[in-house]
Amino acid sequence: MFSGKTEELIRRLKRAQIAKQKVEIYKPAVDVRFSEDAVVSHDENSIPSAPVHNAEQILLLVGDAEVVAVDEAQFFDNTLVEVCEQLARRGKRVIVAGLDQDYLGKPFDPIPQLMAVAEYVTKLQAVCMVCGAPANHSQRLTNHGDQLLLGAGEHYEPRCRKCFEPALNEEKVASPSGT
């Protein structure tokens, strides 16, 4: 989190629009943190998007778009992998943004599978809120045992490998009440 994934996604889509390419962007319908019908970065840059309840809906909505983007891909199931492959086989440029690890530091499906079939992968890092080093982990700050917890700074902070405390997160899973 806080590495600039959505900011980079928006940047790439705006460049495609400048090149007069038809762009479509999708986000999970459950993600209403900043907007119901736009992808919004933490810096408040935004681009209109279509909320979808599952990856298969993207195939129904994509039409003649040349560039297809998906934000917050970790909120979709592994069906997203086949959807992205179908789109790529149709000649569409597919851009996906999402977390590759969950708050326990474990691979966050479907991102590892998407990375395996992608032609290009850009892995961004945040800044560790403890020591300032490059951060590749999301430290959960609240007691909540589910893998999926929508939130931002109130629930998570970026941590480097050295400062990340997965045991603290595992304790929260074992004891969601905080006792």
Catalytically active residues, by annotation: 72
Residue 16 and residue 66: Cα distance in Å, rounded?
A: 9
Helix (H) or strand (E) holding 100: none
Torsion from C-alpha of 56, 60, 62, 63, nearest 10 degrees: 160
Q: What is the DSSP letter of 75?
A: G
The token pair that represents 101 in the structure block: 């690890």
Cα end-to-end span (Å), the chain? 27
CB 121 within 8 A of CB 100: no
- How far is CA 43 from each of CA 10, 54, 64, 66, rounded to the nearest angstrom? 11, 27, 30, 27
